[in-house]
Each structure stands twice: as structure tokens, then as C-alpha cells.
Amino acid sequence: MQLVLEKRAERSTTIALVSPLIAIGLTLITMSILFAILGKNPISALGVYFIDPLTDSYSLQEIAVKATPLVMIAIGLSFCYLANAWNIGAEGQFLIGAVCGSWLAVKTHGTDAGYWVLPAMLLLGAIGGALYALIPAICKVRFGASEILTSLMLVYVADLLLDYLVRGPWRDPKGFNFPTTAEFDPVATVPILIEGGRLHLGAVITLLVVVAGAVLLGKTIKGFEIRVVGAAPRAARFGGFNSNQLILLTFAISGALAGMAGIIEVAGPVGHLQPGISPGYGFTAIIVAFLGRLNPVGILIAGLFLALTFIGGEQAQIAMKIPLDVTKVFQGILLFYVLACDSLILYRFRLISSSPKVSSGAA
């Protein structure tokens, strides 16, 4: 008997839905082994990671807060990936969006500016992120530079720019020399949804982005163009769709969403601009996008799940002294399994009996 990988006639919708679950299952098994090696009880470790955060309202809110930027960034990334444009630099676009929006908050700090400040900040964040994302896109279209490398490298540029600003020109004079801007004014802060909680308006905006993303992809000709360019570039050209234009468009959209997520994070949960505003949201969002099947609703679910790993990881560190980096290991293993399981959508395993064994004496 022999196990072969066989191409399916048509992609399997069932597997497309089930594959992320298989991937999660395999990840949990691998993690259990890892916990056992670390000398922790796998069952209680997984419990702390995945069950405990779901049992109190503080953690539940915290999951939604963490999922907000993840989902918003991942929706944008999914457009890029569907169009075969590989934006790896959402982290940088997130930071630049935060910087651009914060500029207005810093400039209006202490003035009696009205309620227009926050919407204007969000707009600036989106524009900043989009323009920053267009740098690798233009290099790709104009010079053929690999967008994977350029977008990734620009993450570090953004990181250093933010660092410079909060240590230099934008530093809070009353901030005891800490590298941070002054706390944003109330009109420059994202409102809280539940009194006393942490859940903020950004979660609502993210839900609107999910709906808009689903409509754009499924119901509009632009969404169709994005999908065709990625799935069959030559057919897309025959259809009259310009792939370069779509690379620019998808990078701009994903940059705008990452930038907006950045400024919402700064003007919301953080409250001021400082280094380390992102625990790698821009990179984790790549996993969210793929785990969610590059589908807006899938991304919403995947974003909540990945947010759970952040919260669970923090609790496991406190409760079981498991290093926080294990969360990153977990996310990496998960992406690996998701991509591996995806081959089952187009292929299937089949057990076949090997060709009849005959003695070669006949020759």
C-alpha cells in the first residue's frame, strides 16, 4: 500500500472550511508536546491558554481590543494576497499611520480644538499608511523590485522614525524624559464603548470594515478584478484588467487599513504615542489573513482566535511561568500548518495498492 497525493477535479469547499480547524488541531498537539518538554502539564497549560481567557469579562473585552487591529490589518492584507501582491510590511504601515495621526494630536494638544480632531486623525492615519505602502508598490510596478523585501525593510524605517519622534521633537516636556508624547486630549481619543471597560469604538469600525470588505470582494467588479489577477494573471489581462494598477490599489487599501489600525491603537488603548505600541500586530495579521482563508468573515474569526493566544500567553506567563515567546512559537506553528493543510483543498490523500510486484526475471 502506498499513500499518494492526488489532484482533485474541483477545489473542495468542505476542506476549504475545515482546513483551518485541522491546522489548529495539529498546532494544539504540537504545543502539548512542547509544553511537556518544558516540563508543564499540557492539559492545564492549554487550559490557561485557551479556556481561562474566555471565562471572565475583562479578558473577553481584552480579546476584542487585541482583535481589533489584527482584523482590520488582515482584511487589507487579504486584498493584497488575493491579487498576488505580497505586502509583508503592514507593521510599518501601522506605525506610520500611528505617527501621522499622532501629529495632529500633538499639534492640537492643549488647544480648544473641537470634535473634528479624532476623525481627522483617523483620516491622516489612513492616508499615511496608504502612502507608505505605495512606496514598495511603486518600486514593484516601476522597477520590478520584490515587494516582499522592500515592504519588510520599510518596517524598520518606520520603527526608527517613530523612535526618533518620541525621543526628540514630540517628547512630552513633562514626561520625566520617558520617550513618549503627552497623553492625548479627550477630543483626540477613541471613545470607550462600555463605561469602565477597555472596549472602544475601533471595534465597531473594524466590524464595518469586515462588512465592506466582504461586499467589495464578493459583489463588485473591483473585487473580481483583484481575485482574477491573483488566480490567473494572463486571463486577467485578457479580461482587460491592469495588474499593475491593482497592485497599487491593493497596497494602498491595505496600507490605509493598517495605518488606521495604528492610529486607533494609539488614540485608543494606548492613549499616547510611544515605542512598542504594537506587539507585532502587522506580522500576526499575516497569519490571521491566511487562517481566515483570505475571506473577511473568516478573518474576523481568525482574528479573535489569535487575539486569544496573546491574552492566553500573558496569563500563562503569570500563572505558569511559560515564556511569552511561546505565543510567537505557537503563531508560527499555526501558520505553517495552515499553509500545509491548504494543499488538501486542491489535492487529496489516497491509499493505493502498489503496482503488482512481479519478479524481474522475465527480462
Partner 1 sequence: MSDPTPFRLDAGATPLLQTIGLTKRYGNFLANDAVDIDIWPQQIHALLGENGAGKSTLVKTIYGLIQPSDGEMRWQGEKMVLSGPSEARARGIGMVFQHFSLFDNLTVAENVALGLDGKESFKDMSARLERVSNQYGLPLDPRREVWQLSVGERQRIEIVRALMQNPKFLILDEPTAVLTPQEADQLFIVLERLKAEGRAILYISHKLEEVKRLCDTATILRGGKKVSTCNPKAETAASLARMMVGTEIKEVKAAAGRETTVPRLVVNDLNLEPDDPHGVRLKHISLELKGGEILGIAGVAGNGQDELFAALSGERLAQDPGTVIIDGIAAGHLSITQRRKLGAAFVPEERLGHGTAPRMKLSENALLTGHAASGMVHRGFVKLAAMLSTVDRATETFDVRKAKRDPEAASLSGGNLQKFIVGREILRDPAVLVVSQPTWGVDAGAAAVIRQALLDLAARGAAVLVTSQDLDELAEITDRIAVMFHGHLSEPLSTAQATREKLGLLMGGSSLEDREAPHAVSA
Interface of this chain with partner 1, residues 238 to 277, rule: CB under 8 A:
238-240
String marking each residue 3-32 x if it binds partner 1 according to CB under 8 A: ---x--xxx---------------------
Q: Considering only residues 1, 3, 37, 362, which one is a binding residue for partner 1 as defined by CB under 8 A?
A: 362
Interface of this chain with partner 1, residues 327 to 356, rule: CB under 8 A:
350, 355-356
Q: Which is nearer to partner 1, 119 or 356 (CB)?
A: 356
Q: Which is nearer to partner 1, 175 or 233 (CB)?
A: 233
Min separation Cβ 226 and partner 1, Å: 12
Interface of this chain with partner 1, residues 182 to 241, rule: CB under 8 A:
219-222, 224, 227-228, 231-232, 234-240
- For residue 270 the three cell numbers come to 494606548
Min separation Cβ 344 and partner 1, Å: 15
Torsion-angle region of 172 (φ positive above 0: left; ψ -120 to 50: alpha; else: beta): beta
Residues 6 or more apart whose Cβ sits within 8 Å of residue 135: 150, 154
Residues 6 or more apart whose Cβ sits within 8 Å of residue 35: 41, 42, 45, 46, 322
Min separation Cβ 5 and partner 1, Å: 13
Strand 347-352 relative to strand 2-7: parallel, antiparallel, unpaired? antiparallel
110 binds partner 1 (CB under 8 A): no
The count of residues interacting with partner 1 (CB under 8 A) is 27
Min separation Cβ 274 and partner 1, Å: 41
Residues 6 or more apart whose Cβ sits within 8 Å of residue 353: 1, 2
Binding site for partner 1 (CB under 8 A): 6, 9-11, 219-222, 224, 227-228, 231-232, 234-240, 350, 355-356, 358, 360, 362-363
